[in-house]
Amino acid sequence: MTIDAATDRDLPTVRRLLESLGLPLDGIDDHVGTLLVAREDGQIVGTAGLEMYADAALLRSVAVDPTQQGRRIGHQLTDAALRLARTRGVATVYLLTTTAERFFPKFGFEQIAREEVPAAVQSSVEFRGACPASATVMRKRLVDTVLFACVHNAGRSQMAAAWFNRFADGEKARAISAGTQPAAQVHPEVVATMREVGIDLADTTPVRLTQEVAGRAQMLVTMGCGDACPVVPGLKRDEWPLEDPKGRSIDAVRTIRDQIRELVRALIEREGWAAANH
């Protein structure tokens, strides 16, 4: 048996398989680029697909021909879909199921409330009606996400996220950043000092810190946004009291940059996220 990427020619067979098992067909044609099929002697005996939404994905259409069940084809398809998600930079995979809530925990999925799913994933056809409201919602985190937050997302948090993504093992953790009052662009003095260490933030756009953005993280590190930073139940939180680099001299910004680098390195070491070459 082999598992490979589906093609448009496979869609009629995939649709028939899904229909025979009572699984939703809506939207399957729109995601053929991330649809996998299992083949035995040239015949499709199973399928699994991903719908991609920024750094999240919806796992769907995990199905095996009833005559082939008991051969762990579903396990292999699920593993293959999760590997595909990792190669696409996905941090979290979600799914809806009405019958397999005992199957997916074997892969690290956990049951969650529907409101914990990002709005982009909730906009999918499956969430909007293809699956009943009573369906079980599950989530698997592929990597830990650390959110660095400050006021303008134009200085401290941008530097911290950039350092983190340089030093951390990307298969274990990654960083994002946001601000309560995002600026139009990263501060020029920050761009200049980070460019000195080979990190280019010139084309990076500051992002607004919302409950949804915070909800994508497992750890929140704040850097001066104070009471404006959202409170997310169950989220680890730390505060780094660092000066705002906006309008400071290049030498002062270098000092802040280097302070952030050491704080980030210590965080990565403490949490076991270090890459092998660092």
The residue count for the chain: 278
Domain chopping of the chain, boundaries: 2-141, 144-271
Q: Are strands 236-239 and 219-222 parallel, antiparallel or unpaired?
A: parallel
Helix (H, G, I), strand (E, B), or coil: what is residue 266?
helix
| 155 neighbors 177 (Cβ within 8 angstroms) | no
pLDDT at site 35: 97
**Which CATH superfamily, name and number, covers 2-141?**
Gcn5-related N-acetyltransferase (GNAT) (3.40.630.30)
CA–CA separation, 121 vs 267, rounded Å?
A: 30
For the residues 100-111, what does the mean pLDDT come to? 93
228-260 pLDDT tens trace: 776 677 778 899 999 999 999 999 999 999 999
pLDDT in tens, 135-192: 899 999 998 999 999 989 999 999 999 999 999 998 889 999 999 899 999 999 999 9
CATH for 144-271 (3.40.50.800, 3.60.20.40, 3.40.50.2300, 3.30.565.10): 3.40.50.2300
Return the CA Rg of the chain: 22
Closest by Cα among 65, 268, 106 to 174: 268
Q: Is the dihedral of CA 234, 236, 240, 245 positive or negative?
A: negative
Residues 91, 141 contacting (CB under 8 angstroms): yes
